[in-house]
Structure formats: structure tokens, C-alpha cells
Amino acid sequence: MLWFITTLAITAFICSSAYAYDNNPLQDICVAVNDSHASVFVNGKMCKDPKLATANDFYFSGLNVSGNEVPGFGIAVKAVDVNNMPGLNTLGITLVRADLEPQGIAPLHTHPRATEMITILEGTVYAGFLVPDPANFFKSRLFSKILNLGDVFVFPQGLIHFLYNVGHKKATCLFYFNSQNPGLILIPNSIFASNPPVPDDVLAKGFQLNKSEIAQLRKKFS
């Protein structure tokens, strides 16, 4: 029995050390500052006194209607997150409804802090994500499917992905994220509409384009 307890204790110590890790960041940057008077920005939201919590903190209404339209892409988005359902704080969950007009698109983007699962409620959507090709550093593999009513697809955390309505009527989708702040990086806008701008030489050489073409892309995405 003593041998068993000793072995169990050693195993528990080793496993706890091996699987220790930092919490996932809930913001894009968090710069350290040695100033006791500086504002505190925590990794998440401050918690309400549990005695003051109510059922409304865990409730949201209105997901049955579409949200705000994103100009230029033919997509409207409504999120259920910690900002409008405070009870989600620390639970690592976000829910989003998206409505895509015919030929509407969620352009190439990534969520640095979340895996995303999509369910189709209406319409037909072409969805895909890109995985780096380990055999060729300069290429990637495309995993894609045509999704219809009731279909489910998943985008692994951090990978570039897209959605495109290939049907002739509006498509409605639900997105589930395993983070209360998944983050969103729109690839074209991040590259061509940064402030300050990425130097023309860097973009021209990186995309094998001339500077006039870079200028046109800046104008489109700014």
C-alpha cells in the first residue's frame, strides 16, 4: 500500500507539471507596465458579486433576427458574447448568427483564440479552411465542403478560413466559438489597410505585384 501511494503521488506530480500551461490570452496584446497607478486590464472581465447575479445575466433575446450588415461583403452578423450576456464571463463560449445574401461572403479571416464550429440553418454555403502543407512550405491544403441545411463544419483554431453563399437565396448560419473573445483578423484588410501602412516594397515583393497594383489594393481595402 505504501508503494502504491508513493507511486501515485509521484505520478500526480509529474503529470501536473507536464500539463501546466498559461491561460489563453483574451486580448491581442497586453503590454507590461511597472506603474502601480496604471489602469488594470485583466485577461477577461471583472466578476460581479455572486449575491448580485440574476437570471438576466445568463439570458439573451433576439437571435431570431439578423444583425448588423458588414459593408461590402453581403453578410450581417449578430453575436452573443460576454458583452451582451454577462454570465458567459470565464465560460469560454461565444455564439454568432450570420446571414449571407446570395454571393455574400465571409472573406479570408482567422480567429487567433478559438476553434469555430458552423451549423447551417438555411441556404447553401461553400466553406473551407487552409492548412500549411508540411511537404512544401510555399503551399497549403484546402479543406472545403458545400454545406446545406443541418450540415456542420469546423474550422480549427487560428487557421485561415472563409464562407461563401453559393445558393440563390439567403443563407443563415450559427457559429460556435470555444472562447469568450475569439478575435478576428480579416486577412486582406489587415495587410492592405494597416496603420501605419506596410511599406510598398514589402507588399510588392511579397505578393509579386508592382506598386501601382499595391496602391489599388490599398484603395479597395482602406
Known binding positions: 109, 111, 116, 161
CA angle 26, 29, 35 (to 5 degrees): 105
Query: Can you state the angle between helices 211-221 and 200-207, rounded to 10 degrees?
Result: 100
Amino acid letter, residue 45:
K
Residue 171 burial (C-beta neighbours within 10 Å; 0-12, 13-18, 19+): buried
Task: State the Cα–Cα distance between residues 109 and 188, nearest whole angstrom.
Answer: 8
- Find, among 23, 174, 151, 28, the residue nearest to 94 by Cα: 174
215: enclosing H helix or E strand: helix 211-221
202: enclosing H helix or E strand: helix 200-207
Binding-site residue positions for oxalate: 111, 116
CA dist list (Å): 55 to 60, 78, 80, 87, 180: 10, 22, 16, 9, 19
150: enclosing H helix or E strand: none
Binding-site residue positions for Mn(2+): 109, 111, 116, 161
Grid cell in block for residue 148: 446545406
